[in-house]
Amino acid sequence: MTDRLQAAQAALNAGRRDEAIEQLIAAVTEDPARTVQVYRVLAVQLYNANRFEEGVQFAGQGAQRHPKDYDLLNTYGVLLRKARRQAEAVPVLDAAIRLRPKDPAAQQNLGNVLLDLKEGARAEALFTKMVRADPRNAEYHRQLGRALLQQGKIDPAATRFRTAISLKKDLIDAWLDLVGTLNEEFRTAEAEEVLDRAIAANPGNQRLLEGKAMVLRRSGQMRRAEQFLTDLLPANPDAAWLHFQIGSLVADIDRARATAALRRAVELDPDRLDYSTSLVESLERTRHGDEGGHIEEAYQLALKLLHRRAEFGDAAKKIMTEVFVRVADFDSQDQVGDFKSLGRGWASSGRHTALLKQLSRTHTHEDRLELVEQHRIWGRDVEKAAARRPIKRPPPRPKGGKIRLGFMSSDLRQHPVGYFAMPLFDHVDNERFEVFVYSYYLGQEDAAQRHIAERISAYRWWPDIGVGQAAEKIAEDQLDILIELGGSTHMNKLEVMAYRPAPIQASWLGYPHSAGLESIDYFICDPFSLPTDPAYLIEKPLVMPKTWLALGDAFFSDRNEITPGLPCERNGFVTFGTANNPHKYSREVVQAWARVVAAVPGSRFAFVRPEGSGASFRRNLAALFAREGVSEDRLVFHAVRGRHMPYYNEIDITLDPFPLTGGTTTTESLWMGVPLVSRVGEAFHERLSYSILSNAGLGDLCVKTPEEYQTQAVALAADLDRRREIRANMREALRKSPLGQTQQFARDFYDLIHRAVSEHR
C-alpha cells in the first residue's frame, strides 16, 4: 500500500503531476483510512491541476475522516468555490475558522466566497475585522473595498482601494478596482488619470495597459482605444494580450481583422481560455465568405474546449452556447448548463444579450416566469447602478405644444427593425409630433437612414458615446416619450433607459420579451400578441387596435418575384422548410418538423440558412430527422444570407419554430406566397406568427398542440387548391390587410402614443 504513496512522491519530485494524482487517488480508494497528509496533498494537487470537482470529492472524503484538520478544510472550501459551489463552501470555511480563529487564510477565503454570493454586508464585517487585526495589509483593505462596493458604498470603497495602493504600489488588483469603480460611475477622466499614475508606478504592466484600453472602450472612445493599442504593438509584436485586446476592440467594425488578431493571440498563448473562446465567438459571428465554414471552425474549436467546462465563466458559457445553438448540437448545449443556472448567471453578470437564447427554452408556465425573473435580475442591477449616478437634466419644457417622441435604435436602417418601423417615418404625424431618432450604429450610413433623417426633426447618430453620456444628451432634447426598438441586441444601449431620460418610456419591435427594466413603462403589442397572463410582461401593455407591425413599402416590394405554380407540381414532391435562425430551434422543434416530413410520403425539408454549408450543422440535423425515420437525402440546404427570398419559390409550406416563433421570416414567407403553420403559446414571443397570420387572414393555420401542428401541416400539404390560391393572391391580400395598410398603421400608432402621453400630461 505504501508503494502507491512512494510512487506518488517520486512522480511529484519528477514533475509528473497527473501521474502523482492517479497514484494518490488509487491510494485513498484502496484504503480510505489514509492519513490526513495524503488527503491534503491530493486536494492541493487536484486544485493545481484545475480538477476542481474531483478535488471536492476527495477533499470532502478526507474531511469526513479528519473533520478537525484546518488545512484540509480550508483547501476543501477553496475547491468548492472553484467548482462554483459557493453556498456549500461557507459552512466548510466556517468550520475551519472555528478551529483556528486567528488564522487569516480561511477568513480571507470565506470573505471571497461571500463576495461571490453577493453577501456584501457579511463580507464587510469579516474584512473589517481583518483590517483591524492587520492594518498594514493592503489586500485586506482591497477586499474590504470590494465588500463596500457591492453594497453601493462607492466613496468608502474608493477610499479603501486608495489605502491599499498607498500601502502597496504594485498591488495591481487595487489599482484596477479603483479604476473600475470610477469608470462605473462615469468618472472617466478621473479613472484615466488614476491609470496613468498606476502605469507610471508599474511601467509596462500588462494588466494596467489593458485596463486603460478598457476604460477608453467603456467610455465610447473607440478610436482612442485602438490608437493606444496599435501604438504598443511595434514594441510588443508577440504580446498575446495585445492581439487579444485589438481583436476584441475591432470586432464590430472589421471582423476579418478581429479574427486574425484573436487567432494570433491563441497561437501565442493557447492555454488562455478567454482567448480561445473569443476566437470561437469571432468565427461564429463572421458573415463574409463561407459563413457555414467559419461556424464549422468555431464549432470544432468549441468541442475541443468543452472538456474545460468546469473553468467556464458566464462569458465563456454564453459563447459556447451560441456556437452549439448555431449547429443544432443540443447535447453539447446541455453540457454547458441548464436553463435556470445559465440565465441567472448571465443576468447577474450583465449579459442581457445572452437571454435572447433562453426564449426558445421556455415550455411551461414556470419557465416563462423564470425567464421574466432573469430579465428582472439584470434590470435591478442596472437600475441600481443608474440610481447611484444621476444624469444632468434640463429644466422641464412648458406644457402643451407638440409631443416630442424619440425612437432609440441602432437598427433604423436596412435591417428588419427598419423594415417594420419605416411606415412611421413614411407617414410622420407632423401636426402632433416632433420625432427624434437616436442611433449608436458603428457602420456606414445607408439609404434607409437618409430616408428617415429627411422626414423627422432630428436623427442623432452617436457611434462613439458611453451610456451615461447618451442618456444625458437624450434628456437635453426634453422628450415626452422615448421608445427603444432594440432591447440589448447588437449596438443598442438598452441601459440608457435605466436613467429615464424621458418621463415616459416604452419598448417596441426589436426584442420579443420584456427587457427587465422597471423604468420602461409600456410594451407595445396587439390583441393577438398580447400575452395570456399579465405576469409574462414587466411593463404595462400598450395595445395597438389590429397589428403591432406593418410591412414597409420600400422593403416588401415586387422585386422578389413569385414563380407561378406550386413547387410540388414542378418537383413531384412537397417541400417544407424554414429560414429561421437556429437559436429558435430545439430538439422538440426539429422532432416536430421531422414527424411532419415522415407523415407526407416523398416530402423534403429545406433549411434556407447560411449555416447550411457547414458539415456539422447538416450532420446534426440529419441525425435528428433520422430518429423519426427521415433519411438524409430528404433534407435540402440552401446556404445563403441576405439573398434568401427567391428560395421561397422552392418551398411549399413553411413550418414555424416554437416557442420562439418567426417574425421577419413569417412575413417574408407570406409575401412570397408560402403558407405557414405555427404553434401558438402564451407569452409574447410565442405569439408573433399568430399575430401576423391572423392579420393576414390565415389564423386557422395557428394551432396549440404538437398533434395539431402535425395534423395541420399534413392537411395543408394535401390541400393543393388552397395553396394555389395563397400563392397567387397572398401578396395582394397582405397589401389590403392591416399589415399592408401602412398609413392606417402609422395613424393608429401615433394615436396610441398621443393617448399615452396625454394621460401623463
CB atoms within 10 A of CB 406: 24
Cα angle: 105, vertex 46, 272; to 5 degrees: 95
What pLDDT score does 486 carry? Answer: 85
At residue 655, does pLDDT exceed 80?
Answer: yes
Confidence band of 399 (pLDDT split at 50, 70, 90):
confident
| pLDDT 10s digits, 232-253 | 999 999 999 999 999 999 998 8
| pLDDT 10s digits, 470-529 | 999 999 999 999 999 988 777 889 999 999 999 999 999 999 999 999 999 999 999 999
Mean pLDDT, rounded, for 723-752: 97
Instruction: Tell me if 654 sits within 8 A of 676, measured CB to CB.
Output: yes
Cell of 59: 477533499
What pLDDT score does 487 carry? Answer: 82
What pLDDT score does 247 carry? Answer: 96
Mean pLDDT, rounded, for 190-211: 94
Q: Where are the alpha helices (DSSP H) in 16-119?
A: 17-30, 36-48, 52-65, 70-82, 86-99, 104-116
Q: Which CATH class is domain 567-740?
A: alpha beta
Instruction: Tell me if 508 sits within 8 A of 424, measured CB to CB.
Output: no
List of residues 6+ apart from 539 with CB closer than 8 A: 506, 507, 514, 520, 521, 522, 523
Closest listed residue to residue 760, CA positions, set 530, 502, 537 = 502
Residue 47 and residue 76: Cα distance in Å, rounded?
10
Q: Where are the alpha helices (DSSP H) in 306-464?
A: 314-326, 330-336, 339-348, 365-388, 416-426, 447-453
Cα angle: 387, vertex 388, 392; to 5 degrees: 75
Confidence band of 554 (pLDDT split at 50, 70, 90):
confident
Residue 723 and residue 729: Cα distance in Å, rounded?
10
Q: What is the DSSP string of 733-761?
A: HHHHSTTT-HHHHHHHHHHHHHHHHHHH-
Confidence band of 2 (pLDDT split at 50, 70, 90):
low
Instruction: Tell me if 666 sits within 8 A of 699, measured CB to CB.
Output: no
Confidence band of 414 (pLDDT split at 50, 70, 90):
confident
Q: Sign (positive/negative) of CA torsion 197, 200, 203, 204?
A: positive
Mean pLDDT, rounded, for 119-140: 96
Query: Phi first, then psi: what are they for 389, rounded to 5°?
Result: -135, 70
Which of 25-39, 659-673, 694-708 bottoms out in mean pLDDT, i.e. has the lowest?
A: 25-39
pTM for the predicted model, two decimal places: 0.85
Rg of the chain, C-alpha, whole Å: 29
Cell of 591: 422532432
Cell of 683: 407569452
At residue 1, does pLDDT exceed 60?
Answer: no
Pairing of strands 653-655, 504-507: unpaired
Mean pLDDT across the chain, nearest whole number? 95
Instruction: Tell me if 447 sits within 8 A of 719, measured CB to CB.
Output: no
Is residue 408 helix, strand or coil? strand
| pLDDT 10s digits, 38-91 | 999 999 999 999 899 999 999 999 999 999 999 999 999 999 999 989 999 999
Residue 305 and residue 297: Cα distance in Å, rounded?
13
Find residue 577's DSSP bridge partners. 606, 654
- Superfamily in which the 220-337 domain is placed by CATH: Tetratricopeptide repeat domain (1.25.40.10)
- Within the chain, which residue ranges are assigned CATH 1.25.40.10? 220-337
- Within the chain, which residue ranges are assigned CATH 3.40.50.2000? 567-740
What pLDDT score does 625 carry? Answer: 98
- Within the chain, which residue ranges are assigned CATH 3.40.50.11380? 357-550
Confidence band of 750 (pLDDT split at 50, 70, 90):
very high
Element (H, E) at 703: strand 702-703
| pLDDT 10s digits, 295-351 | 999 999 999 999 999 889 999 999 999 999 999 999 999 999 999 999 999 999 999
Mean pLDDT, rounded, for 588-602: 98
Cβ burial, residue 609 (10 Å; 0-12/13-18/19+): buried
Q: Where are the alpha helices (DSSP H) in 83-221?
A: 86-99, 104-116, 120-133, 138-150, 154-167, 172-184, 188-201, 206-218
Query: Phi first, then psi: what are they for 462, rounded to 5°?
Result: -125, 80
Which of 25-29, 607-611, 700-704, 709-713 bottoms out in mean pLDDT, i.e. has the lowest?
A: 25-29
Cα angle: 189, vertex 192, 198; to 5 degrees: 145
Instruction: Provide the CATH number for the domain formed by 357-550 in this structure.
Output: 3.40.50.11380
Cell of 328: 443544432
Is residue 364 helix, strand or coil? coil
Q: Cα 284 vs. chain centroid, distance in angstroms?
A: 14
Confidence band of 124 (pLDDT split at 50, 70, 90):
very high
Cα angle: 539, vertex 545, 550; to 5 degrees: 90
